[in-house]
């Protein structure tokens, strides 16, 4: 690799050819501000349209200013990142953006988390010298995502996520000139589009243009209704990220504090989606083994690979794009929906509360879960199994409304019986976790032998596409893992073409799995945060005494008392679902 | 083959076609048939003659008679009189604007005298739908010579030596561009012809494709041979239906004759051309945006580098040249680099086609040698300013360019001089302005165009130009302040400095150029709320001069909104609250009694 | 149409098709050509101007002389029809009257080829629209 000599702000440095000015500068502690630029290091995700022009710098001998994010260094280059010309241009550009931006920062959903707000503050913008017409677009509300595109600054991050990473292709720039904005084609509503509600657009939006539907108000009303029994379930990835909302280091596990906070907020029972994750393994694992055994016995009607079905965005994705494959994914409902279903039958009976008076709230790292809980097949006589699905961020808002000093809360334990879980359940929160949990149980059931080791390192990591072969005591089981729908698409195309080598595939829509979900605290482009959350998830797994789903005593009890056996008729009715052709 | 002793050329350019030139041709043929002369006299529909102002044009050869404003019925008269009786139809002849005398031989027309037609050599001369007429004019001889007798490096050297620069606006040396693409290593390369002509008023690319499509195809094949590409793509706007039709015909004919396709002229060289349609976005003239559009993506530019020469269409090395650039290639090969380099100025060789428009007598398409002065173009070729008004400025380079004032009338026109003068060559739009044009309004007009045509990708172009436009609007409405003028300049500079592509980087040029050259006019708008040219409606009002008004009632009768009152033979009066400032009274008054203030 | 297989084939075709537009090329650059204008008004046509014109075209072509033969209106010498105006490059035009085929042949052989003036030249007393 050729090395390049240059100076940035009079500091000489040597960097590899191909390095951008932005990266070269950051290497010597010069922090050139950026707005549209986003890179998730090591995850192959980069948004580099060079559109906002905030990162412009002055380069000696160049006619105009250069965007640092997409200008590569060259030999002898002399860069000045804070010449008066660069500062003036940078501030003018931000003023221009602000001149076409609603000035409702005080009440904006993104206030305090807004990259544009931060930028204006960072540059000390105190006056907007250019005033004029502002873009006016209608607001678009869907079951999960609100588009308030008056606040769109054309950074194109959402477009990169929706098109390049997820290959969903709903969001792209439309119109021209001053009217240009990112929206679905023909400005159609999101809920008429093939949007999967994965929420990755929301996760990366620098402003309040894309946010989740906020249901905290409805939950507060339910909590204050004496006729209602309100129970809550918390997804595995939430505990690894919630602390960030309260200024804690990324990757801090806050399971106990979270339980304490929820109890303090007035939830009658604080349960764990992890319990339902263990239940999912029982159902999905059994389905896998059934299919596998039949396949190995030569049954040609059996379809392999089996695909996981925990992720609602992924489910909607294949319903739209690969409807002909809809009998391949496991029919098992997601843990959220299994929990809702069991809560409103088994548990409601247990505490003798009528279904209508039992309110199930879930705390999810996800915005698609809002959509999932609203799917009609997950309700009984119009009463949904899960009433409200809040994101991690919404929970933080609830905690703030509850005047709770989160950081100093003591740890508390989940309630029983739906609060007990194993280490296998908690790793559902990261890519590779569901399939690892399934392997832990399937191995023992298939071989009748105890696992020689519980940790399957070969299934872990952050690579977008991974594969591993697990030796089921002489039978090699080929496993594929994809996170990010673009990666999932590749595996599906292989299946379509009949080239798939796998027996089972785990698919998660969000990069990193649920830890990187669209409902998590904003990562602001820092992939390190996702990695820290992942480490936290695995450490929670390690700390558990029971680490295989089929060993969860409350699960065994549930089957004994209520469901009989995995894949039983009752289990089918309550824990499985079917998929629809939405193409 | 029948030998004709007279050729009747009927212009088949878009403008003349719109004025029924197709029917003119039919009438000629029918009348000649009646006389039994159809095998002695050939009627040919050609490409554009350039003199669109005077269309439909009919030219009769070999005696070089140039008929203007010909109607379908006139075709009969021309046959009866000119063909049969040998008497030129004087009524239809082009008349010298100064002497008003008819000009019998088009060689004597000032409009053509100073032109040197290289790119337009076949326009208005051959039938663009007949490949044999092109071949008869040395067509495909350059390609044949390149393939059979020259190495790609030799051809590139010829192009480099000729000094040919990109005619699309930037003026990048064509030979160098070819060389860069040649050097890129790849299994697949592309030649792209940029026919996304977008400057308001410019139509030279359309005319070339309509009048001489084979010259572009031949040049593309030569380019393919040089850079190592076997695939050519013409990116053309869908609103050029005639050009598309002629291009399609030309491609089919060239394939039929084996001049496109595999093993061309037995040399083993393969090259074929496909058409890609654009939706007519100005920004798609920018080569990266053009390539995205061809790939089916949103037509918006990306940061260069990488240049298309390294990573272009489908990520492969791509050479993009404009139509006019390509049209110059075959003559350069046929006649040699030295011949081409002998025309023009030191750094700008050859000719340039300009679309002459605005307040000028001879509106049309002209091809002139580089280095010609504005004076020669406006007064010799263009026949001077309309209605004898005073020349004020000429706008060149379209929305990316600027205004040149009187002081530049004697400046030789080439790429570098135009830039030094604060404008640019652009694709060759040339709009002549007189003292009735308000320069603030002109700047606003161009900015409005850019505003519509910006892709909206980068902040300065998307929002900055909007704010710039709003300030101009404020000024033309008489609400501007002197601070607005400095704000205009500051914002313009930031937009130039920070925009992503050429469109944004040049969009403030009309503003800066008019600010530089006509500052007083701006100042009048903001300090005394008046428009010296009387064009900004908000700033003018019409009154009737009591001294001059004869009470003829003409203004009263013509006012569309009934704002004028007054009895016959008594002073008339304009009610300012009703007046919509349409200016009809001013135009109609025979006694100069209507005043603009 | 058979495909053109080589540069030589292309040149052959070019030579063939050039005649199609030769007349236009001539019209575009007439100054170096022998120009003959045949007066073809009613009187001229009645006196056989058309035959004369056709004969001139054919014979000049036959003898390989690059010339431009065009028709023009009445020159006013109706008594002397058919009349032609002949311009040799670099010389003033002259007008001949009573040009039948034989006279035409003589004009080609003597005046055009040998530059010898013949009898029958009519002094010019008109201006045409072309040289006004």
Between chain A and chain B, the number of residue pairs with CB atoms below 8 A apart is: 113
Chains C and B touch (3+ CB pairs under 8 A): yes
Asked if A333 and A577 touch (Cβ cutoff 8 Å), the reply is yes
Burial readout A102-117 (b: 16 or more C-beta within 10 A, e: otherwise):
beebeebbbeebbbbb
Task: Flag the least confident range among A168-177, A221-230, A279-288, C6-15.
Answer: C6-15
Q: Which residues sit opposite A470 in a β-bridge?
A: A477
Q: Please state, in angstroms and rounded to a whole number, the distance separating the CA atoms of residues B563 and B581.
A: 10
User: Could you give the 3-state DSSP secondary structure of residue B428?
Assistant: coil
Which residues, 6+ apart, have CB-to-CB distance to B314 below 8 Å?
A: B188, B190, B295
Query: Bigger pLDDT: B590 or A263?
Result: A263
The secondary structure element, H or E, covering residue A102 is: none
Contact state of B86 with C11 under an 8 Å Cβ cutoff? no
Q: Please state, in angstroms and rounded to a whole number, the distance separating the CA atoms of residues A329 and A331.
A: 6
Candidate from A64, A88, A173 with C-beta closest to B496 = A64
pLDDT of C130 = 55
Mutate to test the interface with B, among C14, C22, C82 (most CBs of B within 10 A): C14
pLDDT of C51 = 83
Which residues, 6+ apart, have CB-to-CB distance to B484 below 8 Å?
A: B471, B474, B475, B526
Residues written for chain A: 583
Contact state of C24 with B125 under an 8 Å Cβ cutoff? yes
Angstrom distances, CA of residue B210 to CA of A152, B14, B215, B247, B290: 43, 8, 11, 7, 21
Question: C132 pLDDT band (50/70/90 cuts)?
Answer: very low
The secondary structure element, H or E, covering residue B395 is: strand B391-396
Which token pair is B322? 């404009």
Find the angle CA(A44)-CA(A364)-CA(A406) to the nearest 5 degrees: 105
Angstrom distances, CA of residue B169 to CA of A215, B114, B123, B285: 56, 23, 22, 10
Q: Is the peptide bond before B62 cis (omega within 30 degrees of 0)?
A: yes
Share of chain C above pLDDT 70, in %: 91
Which token pair is A506? 């785990």
In the block, tokens 């221009």 appear at A96
Cα maximum dimension of chain A = 79
Render pLDDT for A103-123 as a digit per residue (tens, 0 to 9). 999 999 999 999 999 999 999
Which token pair is C19? 């005649």
Mutate to test the interface with C, among B2, B6, B135 (most CBs of C within 10 A): B135
Q: Please state, in angstroms and rounded to a whole number, the distance separating the CA atoms of residues B531 and B441.
A: 10
In the block, tokens 């832990």 appear at A440
Which residues in chain A have Cβ-Cβ distances shorter than 8 Å to B497? 56, 64-65, 85, 89
CATH of C29-131, one of 1.10.240.10, 3.40.30.10, 3.40.50.300, 2.60.40.420: 3.40.30.10
Instruction: Find the closest chain C residue to B135 by CA distance.
Output: C14
pLDDT of A201 = 97
Domain B6-109, CATH class in plain words:
alpha beta
Taking the CA of residue C81 and the nearest CA in chain B, the distance in Å comes to 14
Taking the CA of residue A135 and the nearest CA in chain B, the distance in Å comes to 10
The upper half-sphere exposure of residue B545, i.e. CA atoms within 13 Å in the direction of its Cβ, equals 12
What DSSP assignment string belongs to C15-38? HHHHHHHHHHHHHHSGGGSEEEEE
pLDDT of B1 = 33
Sequence ranges of the domains in chain C: 29-131
Residues written for chain B: 597
Which residues in chain B have Cβ-Cβ distances shorter than 8 Å to C20? 1, 132-133, 136
Which residues in chain A have Cβ-Cβ distances shorter than 8 Å to B465? 177-178
Contact state of B7 with C10 under an 8 Å Cβ cutoff? no
Which residues in chain B have Cβ-Cβ distances shorter than 8 Å to C132? 101-102, 104
Q: Please state, in angstroms and rounded to a whole number, the distance separating the CA atoms of residues A225 and A215.
A: 16
State the angle between helix axes of A392-401 and A255-265 in degrees (0 to 180), rounded to the nearest 10.
Answer: 50
Helix, strand, coil in percent for chain C, rounding step 5: 50, 15, 35
Chains A and C touch (3+ CB pairs under 8 A): no
Mean pLDDT score across all residues of chain C: 79
pLDDT of C53 = 84
Candidate from A67, A89, A176 with C-beta closest to B494 = A89
Question: For the domain bounded by B351-434, which CATH number is listed?
Answer: 3.10.20.600
The upper half-sphere exposure of residue A225, i.e. CA atoms within 13 Å in the direction of its Cβ, equals 15
Question: C57 pLDDT band (50/70/90 cuts)?
Answer: confident
- Average pLDDT rounded to a whole number, residues A456-460: 95
The upper half-sphere exposure of residue B188, i.e. CA atoms within 13 Å in the direction of its Cβ, equals 7
Looking at residue A332, what DSSP letter applies?
Answer: B
Nearest one of A306, A307, A326 to A318, comparing CA atoms: A326
Render pLDDT for B443-489 as a digit per residue (tens, 0 to 9). 999 999 999 999 999 999 999 999 999 999 999 999 999 999 999 99
Level-2 CATH architecture, domain B541-596: 2-Layer Sandwich (3.30)
Asked if A446 and A503 touch (Cβ cutoff 8 Å), the reply is no
Q: Please state, in angstroms and rounded to a whole number, the distance separating the CA atoms of residues A170 and A147.
A: 13
Angstrom distances, CA of residue C75 to CA of B204, C78, C126: 42, 8, 7
Mean pLDDT score across all residues of chain B: 92
pLDDT of C127 = 58
pLDDT of A151 = 97
Active-site residue numbers of A?
A: 284, 287, 310, 330, 369, 372, 377, 514
Contact state of C14 with B136 under an 8 Å Cβ cutoff? yes
Candidate from B455, B457, B460 with C-beta closest to A96 = B460
Render pLDDT for B269-282 as a digit per residue (tens, 0 to 9). 999 999 999 988 89
What are phi and psi for residue B180, nearest 5 degrees? -60, -45
> Over 70: is that where the pLDDT of C125 sits?
no
Q: Please state, in angstroms and rounded to a whole number, the distance separating the CA atoms of residues A320 and B27.
A: 60
Contact state of A180 with B302 under an 8 Å Cβ cutoff? no
- Average pLDDT rounded to a whole number, residues A218-232: 97
Cα maximum dimension of chain C = 58
Please give the domain boundaries of chain A with CATH numbers for all domains. Answer: 3-122 (3.10.20.740), 140-212 (3.30.70.20), 280-332+421-575 (3.40.950.10)
Render pLDDT for B30-58 as a digit per residue (tens, 0 to 9). 999 998 888 888 899 998 888 888 889 99
Asked if A118 and A108 touch (Cβ cutoff 8 Å), the reply is no
Mean pLDDT score across all residues of chain A: 96
User: Could you give the 3-state DSSP secondary structure of residue B282?
Assistant: helix
Instruction: Find the closest chain A residue to B301 by CA distance.
Output: A49
Question: C110 pLDDT band (50/70/90 cuts)?
Answer: confident
pLDDT of C93 = 81
Asked if A542 and A227 touch (Cβ cutoff 8 Å), the reply is no
Pairing mode of beta strands C121-122, C94-96: antiparallel
pLDDT of B83 = 83
Question: A320 pLDDT band (50/70/90 cuts)?
Answer: very high
Q: Please state, in angstroms and rounded to a whole number, the distance separating the CA atoms of residues A255 and A409.
A: 11
pLDDT of B441 = 94
Candidate from B305, B456, B499 with C-beta closest to A176 = B456
Domain B131-336, CATH class in plain words:
alpha beta
> If DSSP states are collapsed to H, E and C, what string results for B472-500?
HHHHHCCCCCHHHHHHHHHHHHHHHHHCC
Fold (topology level) of B439-527: de novo design (two linked rop proteins) (1.20.1440)
| Segments of chain B scoring below 50 in pLDDT | 1-2
pLDDT of B62 = 81
Taking the CA of residue A178 and the nearest CA in chain B, the distance in Å comes to 5
Chains in contact with C, where contact means 3 or more Cβ–Cβ distances below 8 Å, are: B
Chains in contact with A, where contact means 3 or more Cβ–Cβ distances below 8 Å, are: B
Contact state of A176 with B302 under an 8 Å Cβ cutoff? no
Nearest one of A311, A118, C8 to B267, comparing CA atoms: C8
Sequence ranges of the domains in chain B: 6-109, 131-336, 351-434, 439-527, 541-596
Burial class from Cβ neighbours inside 10 Å (0-12, 13-18, 19+) for residue A551 reads middle
C-alpha A452, offset from chain centre:
32
Tell me the ipTM for this assembly.
0.93
Which token pair is A72? 């590569």
């Amino acid at each position: 690799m050729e090395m390049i000599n240059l100076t940035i702000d009079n500091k000489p440095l040597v960097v590899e050819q191909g390095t951008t000015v932005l990266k070269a500068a950051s290497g010597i502690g010069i922090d050139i501000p950026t707005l549209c630029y986003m890179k998730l290091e090591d995850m192959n995700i980069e948004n580099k349209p060079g559109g906002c022009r905030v990162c412009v710098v002055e380069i000696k001998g160049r006619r105009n200013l250069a965007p640092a994010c997409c200008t590569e260094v060259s030999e002898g280059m002399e860069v000045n990142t804070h010449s008066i010309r660069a500062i003036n241009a940078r501030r003018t550009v931000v003023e221009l953006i602000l001149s076409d931006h609603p000035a409702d920062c005080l009440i904006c959903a993104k206030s305090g988390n807004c990259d544009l707000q931060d930028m204006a503050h960072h540059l000390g913008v105190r006056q907007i010298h250019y005033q004029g017409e502002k873009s006016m677009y209608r607001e678009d509300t869907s079951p999960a995502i609100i588009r308030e595109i008056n606040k769109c600054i054309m950074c194109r991050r959402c477009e990169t996520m929706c098109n390049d990473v997820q290959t969903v292709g709903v969001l792209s720039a439309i119109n021209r000139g001053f009217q240009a904005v990112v929206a679905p084609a023909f400005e159609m509503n999101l809920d008429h589009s093939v949007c999967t509600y994965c929420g990755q657009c929301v996760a990366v939006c620098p402003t309040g243009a894309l946010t989740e539907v906020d249901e905290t108000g409805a939950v507060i009303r339910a909590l204050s209704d004496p006729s209602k029994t309100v129970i809550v379930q918390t997804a595995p990835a939430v505990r690894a990220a919630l602390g960030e909302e309260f200024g804690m280091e990324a990757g801090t596990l806050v399971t106990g504090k979270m339980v304490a906070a929820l109890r303090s907020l007035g939830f009658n029972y604080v349960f764990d989606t992890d319990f339902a994750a263990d239940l999912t393994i029982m159902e999905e694992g059994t389905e896998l083994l059934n299919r596998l055994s039949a396949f190995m016995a030569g049954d040609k009607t059996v379809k392999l690979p089996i695909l996981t079905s925990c992720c609602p965005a992924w489910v909607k994705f294949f319903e739209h794009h690969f409807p002909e494959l809809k009998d391949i994914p496991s029919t098992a409902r997601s843990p959220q929906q299994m929990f809702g279903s069991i809560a409103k039958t088994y548990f409601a009976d247990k505490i003798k509360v009528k279904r209508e008076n039992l309110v199930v709230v879930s705390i999810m790292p996800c915005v698609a879960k809002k959509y999932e809980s609203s799917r009609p097949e997950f309700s009984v006589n119009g009463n949904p199994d899960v009433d409200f699905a809040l994101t991690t961020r919404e929970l933080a808002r609830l905690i703030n409304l509850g005047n709770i000093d989160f950081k100093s809360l003591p740890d508390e334990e989940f309630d029983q019986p739906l609060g007990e879980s194993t280490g296998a359940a908690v790793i559902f929160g990261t890519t590779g976790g569901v399939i690892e949990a399934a392997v832990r149980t399937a191995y023992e059931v298939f071989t009748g032998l105890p696992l020689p080791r519980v940790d399957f390192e070969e299934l872990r990591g952050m690579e977008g596409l991974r594969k591993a072969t697990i030796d089921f005591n002489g039978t090699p089981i080929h496993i594929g893992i994809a996170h990010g729908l673009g990666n999932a698409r590749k595996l599906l195309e292989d299946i379509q073409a009949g080239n798939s080598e796998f027996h089972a595939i785990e698919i998660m829509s969000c990069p990193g799995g649920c830890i990187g979900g669209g409902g998590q605290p904003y990562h602001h482009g820092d992939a390190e945060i996702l990695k820290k959350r992942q480490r936290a998830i695995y450490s929670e797994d390690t700390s558990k005494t029971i680490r295989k789903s089929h060993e969860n005593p409350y699960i065994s009890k549930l089957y004994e008392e209520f469901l009989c056996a995995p894949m039983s008729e009752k289990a089918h009715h309550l824990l499985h679902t079917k998929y629809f052709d939405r193409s | 083959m029948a030998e004709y002793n007279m050729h009747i050329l009927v212009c088949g350019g878009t403008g003349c076609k719109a004025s029924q030139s197709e029917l003119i041709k039919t009438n000629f043929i029918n009348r000649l048939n009646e006389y039994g002369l159809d095998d002695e006299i050939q009627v040919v529909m050609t490409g554009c003659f350039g003199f669109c102002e005077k269309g439909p044009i009919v030219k009769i050869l070999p005696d070089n008679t140039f008929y203007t404003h010909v109607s379908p019925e006139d075709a009969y008269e021309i046959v009866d009189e000119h063909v049969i009786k040998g008497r030129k139809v004087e009524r239809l002849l082009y008349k010298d604007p100064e002497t008003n005398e008819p000009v019998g031989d088009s060689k004597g027309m000032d409009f053509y005298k100073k032109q040197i037609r290289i790119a337009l050599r076949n326009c208005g001369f051959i039938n663009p739908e007949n490949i044999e007429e092109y071949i008869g004019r040395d067509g495909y001889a350059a390609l044949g010579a390149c393939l059979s007798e020259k190495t790609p490096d030799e051809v590139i050297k010829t192009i480099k030596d000729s000094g040919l620069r990109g005619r699309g606006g930037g003026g990048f040396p064509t030979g160098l561009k070819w060389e860069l693409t040649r050097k890129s290593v790849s299994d697949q390369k592309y030649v792209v012809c940029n026919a996304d002509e977008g400057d308001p008023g410019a139509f030279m690319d359309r005319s070339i494709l309509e009048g001489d499509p084979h010259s572009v195809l031949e040049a593309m094949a030569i380019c393919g041979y040089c850079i190592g590409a076997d695939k050519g793509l013409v990116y053309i706007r869908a609103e050029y239906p005639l050009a598309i039709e002629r291009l399609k015909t030309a491609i089919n004919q060239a394939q039929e004759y084996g001049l496109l396709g595999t093993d061309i002229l037995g040399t083993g060289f393969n090259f074929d051309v496909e058409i890609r349609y654009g939706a007519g976005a100005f920004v798609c003239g920018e080569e990266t945006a053009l390539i995205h559009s061809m790939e089916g993506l949103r037509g918006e530019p990306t940061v260069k580098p990488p240049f298309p020469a390294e990573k272009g269409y489908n990520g492969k090395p791509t050479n993009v040249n404009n139509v006019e650039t390509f049209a110059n290639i075959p003559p350069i090969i046929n006649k040699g680099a030295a011949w081409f380099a002998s025309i023009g100025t030191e750094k700008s060789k050859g000719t340039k086609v300009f679309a002459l428009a605005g307040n000028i007598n001879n509106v049309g398409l002209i091809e002139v040698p580089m280095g010609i002065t504005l004076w020669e173009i406006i007064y010799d070729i263009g026949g001077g300013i309309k209605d004898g008004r005073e020349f004020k400025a000429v706008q060149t380079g379209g929305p990316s360019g600027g205004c040149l004032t009187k002081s530049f009338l004697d400046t030789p026109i080439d790429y570098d001089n135009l830039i030094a003068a604060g404008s640019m060559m652009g694709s060759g739009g040339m709009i002549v302005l007189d003292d009735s044009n308000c320069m603030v309004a002109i700047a606003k007009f161009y900015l409005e165009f850019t505003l519509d045509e910006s892709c909206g990708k980068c902040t300065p172009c998307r929002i900055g130009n909007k704010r710039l436009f709003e300030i101009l609007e404020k000024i033309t409405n008489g609400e501007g302040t002197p601070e607005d003028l400095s704000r205009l300049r500051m914002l313009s500079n930031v937009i130039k400095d920070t925009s992503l592509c050429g469109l944004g980087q040049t969009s403030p040029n009309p503003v800066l150029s008019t600010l530089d050259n006509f500052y007083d006019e701006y100042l009048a708008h903001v300090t005394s709320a008046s428009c010296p040219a009387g064009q900004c409606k908000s700033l003018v009002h019409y009154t009737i001069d009591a001294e001059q008004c004869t009470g003829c009632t003409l203004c009263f009768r013509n006012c569309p909104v009934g704002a004028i009152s007054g009895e016959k033979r008594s002073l008339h009066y304009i009610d300012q609250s009703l007046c919509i400032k349409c200016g009809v009274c001013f135009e109609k008054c025979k006694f100069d009694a209507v005043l603009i203030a | 149409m058979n495909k053109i297989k080589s540069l030589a084939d292309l040149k052959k075709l070019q030579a063939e098709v050039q005649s199609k537009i030769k007349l236009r090329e001539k019209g575009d650059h007439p100054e170096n050509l022998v120009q003959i204008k045949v007066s073809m008004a009613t009187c001229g046509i009645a006196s056989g101007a058309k035959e004369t014109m056709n004969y001139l075209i054919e014979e000049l072509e036959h003898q390989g002389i690059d010339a431009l033969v065009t028709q023009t209106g009445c020159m006013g010498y109706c008594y002397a029809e058919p009349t032609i105006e002949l311009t040799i490059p670099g010389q003033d035009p002259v007008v001949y009257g009573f040009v039948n085929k034989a006279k035409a042949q003589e004009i080609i052989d003597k005046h055009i080829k040998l530059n010898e003036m013949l009898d029958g030249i009519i002094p010019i007393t008109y201006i045409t629209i072309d040289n006004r």
